[in-house]
Structure 1
Amino acid sequence: MIEYLSLFLFLAAVFVLLMGYSVAFSLAGTGLVFAGIGALTGHFDSVFLEAIPNRLFGVMNNEVLVAVPLFVFMGVMLEKSKIAEELLDTMSILFGPMRGGLGISVTVVGMLLAASTGIVGATVVTMGLLSLPTMLRRGYDPKVATGVICASGTLGQIIPPSIVLVLLGDVISSAYQQSQIDQGIFSPETVTVGDLFLGALIPGLLLVVAYILYIIFKAVVSPSSVPAIPQEERDAVENIWGKVLTVLFPPILLIGLVLGSILGGLATPTEAAAVGAVGAIILSMAKRSFSLSVLQEVMRSTTQVSSMVFIILVGASIFSLVFRGFGGDDMVRDFLTDLPGGVWGALAVVMLVMFLLGFFLDFIEITFVVVPIVAPILLAMGLDPVWLGIMIALNLQTSFLTPPFGFALFYLRGVAPESISTMQIYRGVVPFIIIQLCMLGLLALWPSLATWLPEVVYG
């Protein structure tokens, strides 16, 4: 009976979320209400409620999570300093002579912006505001233009340094330790954010290459849908290579310093994020776009995003604790282990559920609510933690692109002109969804795409 209460708890939380209530308070509220009902009926041990303060203190005392507001600050500061706008203008002139050059520019800039912000919404909105009017004015097919922007915007899920990977790294590390304890293994080995950053590099870069190859394919089979930039517009720019160097080098150097310090073991993710935040301020000053009003705006945006992340984490911690108190983790374990196909059958079901949840929940809720429940079970079945983390990130990235509920589609719809129909956006992302699914299948067939680099670097 008690296990069914955990199922009712989950369904109640989903119902409250669909009613439109705040995610953090929906999770915490339903958890506390069910805990109270369980305690009154004798189906819930009050020890779990007493553990809530310690759980929340552990969240607030987690040094890895301090990297989140610092990475957000870095990304917002780079956005406000107009670096993304300059990058797009410069890259479009550089690739302008070839058909599809502007689309390739959007993909490359989207990758760099994803690496600097790590936030899908910010990247999609920024690229939509900057590049969509330009692409439409130059004769791009609206479906191709919107598809490229949505797809390149979601690269923030998988291209390090990504906030998604920072949060996943913390959760996967805890899940790995829990799976070891459940098996009676007491090992000092753990999974770090650096492991996930390294594991995501090859799949992320392969995705970027696949996007570019698709744009080249469109240029061959349908040249009119991705025209080149007019010659007179390119001729108007003097010293293009000098401009490329001055515009492209600083953000790449900053991203390289942040990533290199983490991957080289010279700094923790939090320390590297602090370097990135200071570096973003220096770049903004060098661009002469830094001011007190800009700093206030950046700090306000950082506070809003960081508060959202941490309040959701608090609510999810309470929810997952009550869920475990009702024996929900045992019910999920029994369900997954009894599925046909063994570990692959369990993985397929988990990935499908996460994919569907990605229509309604952001990656933060899924990372904090679903992953802590299913990851220890899958890891105990023998899956590699780094590979599992990258599979989850790639799966959620695909979910955010998929109609009719993909988050990236909503973000672009909010800034796209009325001349662009919602159906054009939906049709535009279909080829990129196919690319994503192929990449997911490729990663499933060859886990070494995610595990090889961490093994080489960290042994």
Structure 2
Amino acid sequence: MIALIMFIVCLLMLTLGYPVAFTFGGVAVLFGLYTQGLDLFLLVAYRLHAIMTNVTLMAVPLFIFMGLILEKSGIAERMLESMGLLFGHVRGGLAVSTVVVGMLLAASTGVVGASVVTMGLIALPVMLKYSYDKKLASGVICASGTLGQIIPPSIVLIILGDVLQQPVGDFYRAALLPGLLLVVLYIIVCLVAAYLKKDFAPPIPRSSALSNVPYWQVFKAIVPALALVMVVLGTVIAGVATPTESAAMGAVGAIILALPGGRFRFSMLHQVAMETTKISAMVFTILAGATFFSMVFTYTGGDEAVEEIMQYIPGGQWGFVILMMLVIFLLGFFIDFVEIAYIFVPMIAPVLLKLNIDPLWFGILIALNLQASFLTPPFGFSLFYLRGVAPASVTTLEIYRGVIPFIFLQLIALAIVMVFPGIVRVF
């Protein structure tokens, strides 16, 4: 009962707008003092030391750094413009190019905010210029930006690998096909929408300035970034390097790619380092608060209560999986993926062993589900990112309406992976 009250208090404080990390940490302090006294806090230092010395989690700031370098140096911008040249003359081609670039940005950065902002600044004005439907343009950008949640090197996959005690390389291999499935679904919907409604996504006229750039410049902009992605992901998937080692290679590789373009400056490097520090500090502060919360939750009998409750869920394995996916989807409306991964997932992780559920498959389901949390109002971060850079002619309601079809596509992809679990074991 105490553990349940503690969880409810946290949700109420989050609803009132209190910071996530300090909410969970503060509530854990109060309930920990009440139930266990000062003795419980002797374990806090050991828990924090375990976080600080976790080699796998070192990949998080390195991948953030790599993604920000690619964004600030203009490499991501050139990729987006080049893809527009390749697909722009097809009806719905600009939307398709945005999806493909979103996939490449996801595979090279893994940072959702950077992807959405970059495409919002570059692709949205171009699509509006060529009379694309505002809802379709907004939905494509928000959805494509969230591909960084499922396509490696996804930060959420690193977190889930740590929480579920599974090798991150296995998660990367398992996420490849579900991520590509989602890309294909996005592209199909864009082409079908352009075919059914001719004015939704018209082709770029052959006489436009966008068509006068030689194709060798297109490949010049795409191939280096694609090579970096192949090296970073290939070394992890092949087992040649750990995620941390590949992230370090990616960070250095991003700097090397930024040099020839002439945009690399030490001031840019300082700015990237500062932003990386802020984002990493946010993630690890949440992790520290969530770790403290889960420790108190466990010592107050919360984990045993959760296991007992789960035993009464009808339907066995499938009943548990469906209910958890529904709960995670609903939680995504209100709290961030980091809090869900660090607080809710550890509560249900012990049940996986008792029900003989594959943690790798379940982790991919969670990653797909958490991806939808970036699009669901009222707190979908992708919606806020795009709203911050979109012109005033694009209303907030149009952005909200634009993402609805893509939320359904993500749920369809989730259902496909749920029904066909072998998808995660193909690679």
Q: Which TM class, normalised by the smaller chain length?
A: over 0.9
Per-residue Cα deviation, 1:46-93 (whole angstroms, up to 9, x for no partner): 554321111111011100001011000000000001011111111111
CA distance in structure 1 between the aligned counterparts of 2:337 and 2:115, rounded to whole angstroms = 15
The SS at the match of 2:164 is helix
Matches within 5 A, 1:44-443: 47-173=39-165, 191-233=166-208, 237-240=212-215, 242-443=216-417
Per-residue Cα deviation, 1:249-274 (whole angstroms, up to 9, x for no partner): 01110011000111111111000000
CA distance in structure 2 between the aligned counterparts of 1:378 and 1:170, rounded to whole angstroms = 15
Q: Which amino acid aligns with 1:364?
A: V
Matches within 5 A, 1:14-53: 14-39=11-36, 47-53=39-45
CA distance in structure 1 between the aligned counterparts of 2:4 and 2:21, rounded to whole angstroms = 19
Contact kept in structure 1, 2:3 and 2:301, CA below 8 Å: yes
Tell me how far 1:379 sits from its aligned partner: 3.3
CA distance in structure 1 between the aligned counterparts of 2:175 and 2:61, rounded to whole angstroms = 21
Contact kept in structure 1, 2:134 and 2:394, CA below 8 Å: yes
Contact kept in structure 2, 1:93 and 1:234, CA below 8 Å: no
Contact kept in structure 1, 2:25 and 2:292, CA below 8 Å: yes
Contact kept in structure 2, 1:96 and 1:234, CA below 8 Å: no
Q: Which amino acid aligns with 2:212?
A: V
Q: Which amino acid aligns with 2:179?
A: G
Question: Unmatched 5+ residue regions in structure 2?
Answer: none
Q: Which amino acid aligns with 1:33?
A: L
Contact kept in structure 2, 1:347 and 1:378, CA below 8 Å: no
Contact kept in structure 2, 1:258 and 1:275, CA below 8 Å: yes
Contact kept in structure 1, 2:79 and 2:101, CA below 8 Å: yes
Q: How many corresponding residue pairs?
A: 427
Contact kept in structure 2, 1:386 and 1:451, CA below 8 Å: no
Per-residue Cα deviation, 1:320-354 (whole angstroms, up to 9, x for no partner): 00000100001111111111111211222221111
CA distance in structure 1 between the aligned counterparts of 2:198 and 2:63, rounded to whole angstroms = 39
CA distance in structure 1 between the aligned counterparts of 2:325 and 2:331, rounded to whole angstroms = 10
The SS at the match of 1:51 is helix
Flag the 1:223–1:91 CA change in 2: closer, same or farther, 3 A.
same
Poorly superposed stretches of 4+, deviation over 6 Å: none
Per-residue Cα deviation, 1:368-401 (whole angstroms, up to 9, x for no partner): 1111111221233111111011000001112322
The SS at the match of 1:231 is coil
CA distance in structure 1 between the aligned counterparts of 2:283 and 2:164, rounded to whole angstroms = 17
Per-residue Cα deviation, 1:192-213 (whole angstroms, up to 9, x for no partner): 0010100000010011011111
CA distance in structure 1 between the aligned counterparts of 2:398 and 2:118, rounded to whole angstroms = 19
CA distance in structure 2 between the aligned counterparts of 1:414 and 1:246, rounded to whole angstroms = 31
Per-residue Cα deviation, 1:247-301 (whole angstroms, up to 9, x for no partner): 0001110011000111111111000000000000001112111111100011011
CA distance in structure 2 between the aligned counterparts of 1:279 and 1:430, rounded to whole angstroms = 37
Tell me how far 1:234 sits from its aligned partner: 5.5
Q: Normalized against structure 2, the TM-score is what?
A: 0.97
Contact kept in structure 1, 2:80 and 2:97, CA below 8 Å: yes
CA distance in structure 1 between the aligned counterparts of 2:113 and 2:343, rounded to whole angstroms = 21
Q: Normalized against structure 1, the TM-score is what?
A: 0.91
Contact kept in structure 1, 2:151 and 2:175, CA below 8 Å: yes
More off after superposition, 193-202 vs 162-171: 162-171
